[in-house]
Chain A
Amino acid sequence: MLRYLLEKEIKLFFRNPFLPKLVALLPFIALAIFPLVANLDIKDLKIAVIDQDKSPYSRQLVEKVLSSPYFQLSGNFTNYAEAQRSVEDDRSDLIMEIPAYFERDLVKEGNVQVFVAINAVDGMKGGMGGSYLTGILTDFNNNIRAEWIQTPSRLSTPHINVFSAFRFNPTLRYIYFMIPALIVMILAMFSGFLPALNIVEEKENGTIEQMNVTPVKKSTFILSKLIPYWVIGFLIVNVCVLVAWLFYGFWLRGSLLTLYPFTIIFTFTFCGLGLVVSNYANALQQAMIIMFFFITTFIFLSGLFTPFDNMPQWAQVIGNISPLKYIIQVTRMVYLKGAVFTEMLPQFAALCLQAVFFNGWAILSYRKRN
């Protein structure tokens, strides 16, 4: 019986004027464009400089700041008000003011203040810019100390140098962080929306009622809806991995085979969610809106855009329900760290539980009669 139902699903899928194209193109477009646009690496911040001192040291500092790839001079200003105006006109992102007697105070007192003002309308940009600049200032500071203290004596203040090395993504490239999550997001979109819309369409056309007067079992019917999208989900993962490699030269550090069982279970889970939604929605629009609600909530709670540990306690508790959380962890671990299956058993268990939960619910809530 299942065979005939699957045959029907496959024929209908390929006769749909829109769906096959969507499945073929969306992974390409999403992966090609999104990481480029949603880039958090900040470069070319426009900096307004007010150098009141014009001494060798102050010039050295300005030069140092401008030689980094992060900053670009928007102009030299003589007073703060002018510089402020350039920020208001959006010609500058931040202001660095070097006070008069900068060099004198630095040499004499070993202590001087540089004033930095940052436009924080774009919080992310402001924050990153500020920390870059602080980094450069600290560096400058250390160089000067090194110049002065030619012979390190025991008298100099002992200090600990912290060297941070970023494991697994040494250059902290945002793209490498985002691609694994994006693959999951694309997969979630397809495996969540397509089955839901499919069943609701059958409801709208009345074909499901014809099915309901036949002896088709609930589980058979649900399976006939799951299997095609399962296959599609599997294809999509492979296309995504390939696109990431072609466009960004980004290949998994771990094994693709490690990723498969997780994505297969995850697709199953999300298809289940889609089916649950379709059982409660009576119209396409209704199904779309409910599905949007779940997918966006799950995405926000999953740690896709923001670190999971930064969320408030209650959100973390809810976030544990989000299947996306586990699969994003897994893809990132496999991609960046080269994790093997046994390291991710808790995630696997969580995904399996959710798969059983959503699909069980889908079968129970599908009513052949009311």
Chain B
Amino acid sequence: MMTIKATELTKTFGNFTAVDHITFAVQKGEIFGFLGANGAGKTTAMRMLCGLSKPTSGEATVAGFDVRTQSEQIKKNIGYMSQKFALYENLKVWENIRLYAGIYGIKGKEIGKRIDMILEQLGFEKEKNTLVKELPLGWKQKLAFSVSIIHEPQIVFLDEPTGGVDPVTRRQFWELIYQAADRGITAFVTTHYMDEAEYCNRVSIMVDGRIDALDTPKNLKYQYNANTMDEVFHMLARKAKTAKS
């Protein structure tokens, strides 16, 4: 079953085509890596799928809803974590969890349980009353991820969730993603770390707004005759008009 389906999805800003007729599909429970150099159009594509940005042309459905006309229904069924940390810095850890639990319509009694569950899962029991701005970056990102899936959405969109995070915490972060995928949550991830690309079930690589390659990491390496995803990425990204070097 496909939970995300995009057909010829396009977004232009004036003369600039950020996303250029992309077509792909993501299966339920899959961890889908969405790779590409800076400026390749990943974030724009993701924003369209989340209902934050209107497509210029093309079609897409997310969790069975049309991104053009049913963006509010989509929002009930997805989680989103942007590359910029977006929880409230001046709220305590538990207050942030409570806020989003409330927003997603979780009932009062259940909220307390969710808070404890998340704190335990993250090992944050001691930080329950810490202001979020006082947490180290890696911890913030783990918290942001847990908050983005507090309502057990069908799909979670992660936009460079591990940017600037140390390798140990990154590993822990990916464990959280795997746990979520085990529960049937589809993860749609963009990243610049090629070791992380290897963790994905399937990977697409965007170049200049188009998807140039889409397959499992193993097949891609075979296809491009490379040892690592890093090599595959370099081969593809070099063709980009927007590439600086």
Not counting A12-B90, A16-B90, A206-B82, a sample of 5 additional A-B residue pairs whose C-beta atoms are within 8 angstroms of each other reads: A5-B102, A206-B85, A209-B84, A215-B105, A369-B71
Please state if B88 and A12 are interface contacts (CB–CB under 8 Å): yes
Do residues A11 and B95 form an inter-chain contact, with CB atoms below 8 A? yes
What's the least CB distance linking B183 to chain A, in Å?
20
Q: B18 in the interface, Cβ–Cβ < 8 Å?
A: no
For the complex, is B53 an interface residue (Cβ under 8 Å from A)?
yes
Which residue of chain B is the closest to A15 with respect to CB atoms?
Answer: B90
- Which residues of the other chain, A, contact B99 by a CB distance below 8 angstroms? 4-5, 7-8
Chain A positions 209 through 235: 1 when the CB is less than 8 Å from some CB of chain B, otherwise 0: 111111110000000000000000000
A279 to chain B, nearest CB (A): 16
CA gap between A174 and B29 in the complex, in Å: 74
A4–B79 alpha-carbon span in the complex (Å): 18
In Å, the complex CA distance between A370 and B51 comes to: 9
- Interface residues of chain B, those whose CB is within 8 Å of chain A, are 50-54, 71-72, 75-76, 78-80, 82, 84-91, 95, 98-105, 131
- Inter-chain CA distance A213–B84, complex, in Å, is 14
Q: Which 8 A-B pairs have the closest CB atoms?
A: A4-B102, A210-B86, A213-B80, A206-B84, A206-B86, A15-B90, A215-B75, A215-B76
Which residues 176-204 in A have Cβ within 8 Å of B in the complex?
none
| Min CB–CB distance B62 → chain A (angstroms) | 11
Q: Residues of B contacting A3 with CB < 8 Å?
A: 102
Within 8 Å CB of A212, what residues of B?
A: 52
Bound: A5/B82 CA distance, A: 20
Q: Which residue of A lies closest to B147 (CB)?
A: A210
Q: Which of A1-22 contact B (CB under 8 A)?
A: 1, 3-5, 7-8, 11-12, 15-16
Q: List chain A residues, Cβ under 8 A from B131.
A: 15
Q: Give the residue among A1, A209, A211 with the most B Cβ atoms within 10 A.
A: A209
- With A11-B91, A215-B75, A216-B103: A370-B86 Cβ-Cβ less than 8 Å: no
Q: Bound complex: CA of A12 vs CA of B103, how far in Å?
A: 17
Check A8 against B88 for contact (C-beta < 8 Å). yes
Q: Establish whether residues A369 and B52, one from each chain, have CB atoms under 8 Å apart when the complex forms.
A: yes
Do B102 and A214 touch (CB < 8 A)? no
Is A150's CB within 8 Å of the partner chain B?
A: no
Q: What would be 16 A-B contacts, judged by CB atoms less than 8 Å apart?
A: A1-B103, A4-B103, A7-B98, A8-B99, A12-B91, A15-B131, A207-B88, A209-B82, A210-B80, A211-B103, A213-B79, A214-B75, A214-B103, A215-B72, A215-B75, A368-B51
A216 surroundings in chain B (CB, below 8 A) = 103
Q: Which residues of chain B have C-beta atoms less than 8 A from A171's C-beta?
A: none
A12 to B96: give the CA distance in the assembly, Å: 11
Q: Using A205-B89, A206-B82, A215-B75 as known contacts, say yes or no to A8 and B51 having CB atoms under 8 A apart.
A: no
> Which residue in A1, A16, A368 is a CB contact (below 8 Å) of B102?
A1
- Structural contact, A214 and B91, CB atoms closer than 8 A: no
| Docked-complex contact A370 and B102, CB < 8 angstroms | no
**With A16-B90, A369-B53 in contact, is A210–B102 under 8 Å at CB?**
no
Q: With A207-B87, A207-B88 in contact, do A214 and B82 touch (Cβ < 8 Å)?
A: no
Chain B: CB-nearest residue to A2: B102
A209 touching B52, Cβ below 8 Å? yes
Given contacts A5-B103, A213-B75, A215-B75, contact A369 B87 (CB under 8 A): no
CA distance A370 to B55 in the complex (A): 9
Q: Is the CB of B86 within 8 A of A207?
A: yes
Q: Is the CB of B53 within 8 A of A370?
A: yes
Q: Cβ of B100: which chain A residues have Cβ within 8 Å of it?
A: 214
**Contact: A210 with B98, CB < 8 Å?**
no
Distance from B181 Cβ to chain A, minimum over Cβ atoms (Å): 20
Contacts of A369 in B (CB 8 A): 51-54, 71
Determine the chain A residues whose CB is within 8 A of the CB of B78 once the complex forms: 213
Name which of B50, B51, B71, B86 has the most chain A CB atoms within 10 A of its CB.
B86
Q: Output the nearest chain B residue to A12 by Cβ-Cβ distance.
A: B90
Bound CA–CA A12/B76 (angstroms):
26
Q: How far is the CA of A11 from the CA of B88 in the complex (A)?
A: 11
Return the chain A residue nearest B101 by Cβ: A4
Expressed in whole angstroms, the Cα–Cα distance for A207 and B78 within the complex equals: 17
CB distance from A113 to the nearest CB of B (A): 73
Bound together, the chains give a CA A7 to CA B75 distance in angstroms of 22
Q: Please measure, in the bound complex, the distance between the C-alpha atom of A214 and the C-alpha atom of B86, giving whole angstroms.
A: 13
A222 → chain B closest CB, angstroms: 15
Query: In the complex, A309→B75 CA distance in Å?
Result: 53
Q: Which of B86, B95, B104 contacts A215 (CB 8 A)?
A: B104
**For the complex, what is the distance from the CA of A207 to the CA of B89, rounded to whole Å?**
9
Closest residue of chain B to A202 (Cβ to Cβ) is: B88
**Bound Cα distance A11, B91 (Å):** 7
How distant is the Cα of A5 from the Cα of B100 in the complex, in angstroms?
A: 9
* Distance in Å: Cβ of A18 to nearest Cβ of chain B: 12
Which residues from chain B contact A206 at a C-beta distance below 8 Å? 82, 84-86
Would A209 and B72 count as touching, CB distance under 8 A?
no
Q: Given A4-B98, A213-B80, does the pair A370, B85 have CB atoms closer than 8 Å? A: no
Hey, which chain A residues are within 8 Å of B87, CB to CB? 207, 210
Q: Which A residues are in CB contact (< 8 Å) with B104? A: 214-215
Kindly name the residue among A207, A210, A368 whose own CB sees the greatest number of chain B CB atoms within 10 A.
A210
Question: What separation, in Å, do the CA atoms of A370 and B76 have in the docked complex?
Answer: 19
A212 to B50, CA, bound (A): 9
